[in-house]
Amino acid sequence: MDFPRPLPVPTPTTEPFWNGLAEGQVRLQQCDDCDAWVFYPRSHCNACLSPNLTWKTVSGKGTIYSFTVARRPTAPQFADDIPQLIAVIELNEGVRLNSVMVNIDPTALAVGLAVKPVFHRQDGSTLLYFEPD
């Protein structure tokens, strides 16, 4: 059976984030009222529920908050990627996101490692991967 790669299908709210990645930029929402950074993109600030969020372009730099080396595919769609270097990245703005580490030996993965974005293009989508900074 063919298991096509699951790719994001943006919503009206999240589209600016994905469009940013396509242009090689990391864009995050910041709350006008409480200054909190918001990720994933939302209609309202998840710190104060203000609807006043403004898109800002950030460096995309951060650190590895945690990681795992999946030696069995987490789903059949990822069978070709074994081992999967799954990471949770904490951006310098403090928000966290799911990602994949590239250009690194699995044994070099470490919590706290400084990372920078890699704009990974796949079948018309752009995913936010990371590599050592």
Partner 1 sequence: MGLQGRAAITGVADFKNERKYTGKRKFYTEQWAELTQLAITDAGLSKQDIDGLCCASIPESSMFAPATIAEYLGLRVNFAEMVDLGGASSVSMIWRAAAAIELGLCEAVVCAAPGLPIPSNPNPPRRDPTRLFGSVSANWGSPQTEFDVPYGNVAQNAGYALIAQRYAATYGYDERALAKIAADQRTNAQGNPNAVFYGQPITIDDVLQSKMIADPLHILEIVMPCAGGCAVVVVSDRLAKKCRHRPVHITGCGEHLTTRSVTYAEDMTVTPVGPAAASAFRMSGKSPRDIDVLEAYDCYTITVLLTIEDSGFCNKGEGIAFVNENDLTFAGSFPVNTHGGQLGAGQAAGMAGGMSQPVEGVRQIMGRAEGRQVPHCDTALVTGTGGIMSEQSAIILEGA
Q: Which spans of this chain sit near partner 1 (rule: CB under 8 A)?
A: 1-11, 14, 40, 65-75, 77-78, 81, 84, 86, 88, 96-100, 110-112, 125, 127
Which one of partner 1, Zn ion, none interacts with residue 36, CB within 5 to 8 A by kind? Answer: Zn ion
Q: Which of 92, 76, 100 is nearest to 2 (CA)?
A: 76
The owner of tokens 């999946």 is 70
The upper half-sphere exposure of residue 9, i.e. CA atoms within 13 Å in the direction of its Cβ, equals 2
Q: Give the pair of three-digit tokens for residue 21.
A: 């990645």
Which one of partner 1, Zn ion, none interacts with residue 94, CB within 5 to 8 A by kind? Answer: none
Closer CB to partner 1, residue 78 or residue 119? 78
Contact 85/9 with Cβ under 8 angstroms?
A: no
Contact 100/68 with Cβ under 8 angstroms?
A: no
Residues near Zn ion (CB under 5 A) are: 31, 33-34, 36, 45, 47-48, 50
| Minimum distance, C-beta of residue 92 to partner 1, in the bound complex (Å) | 17
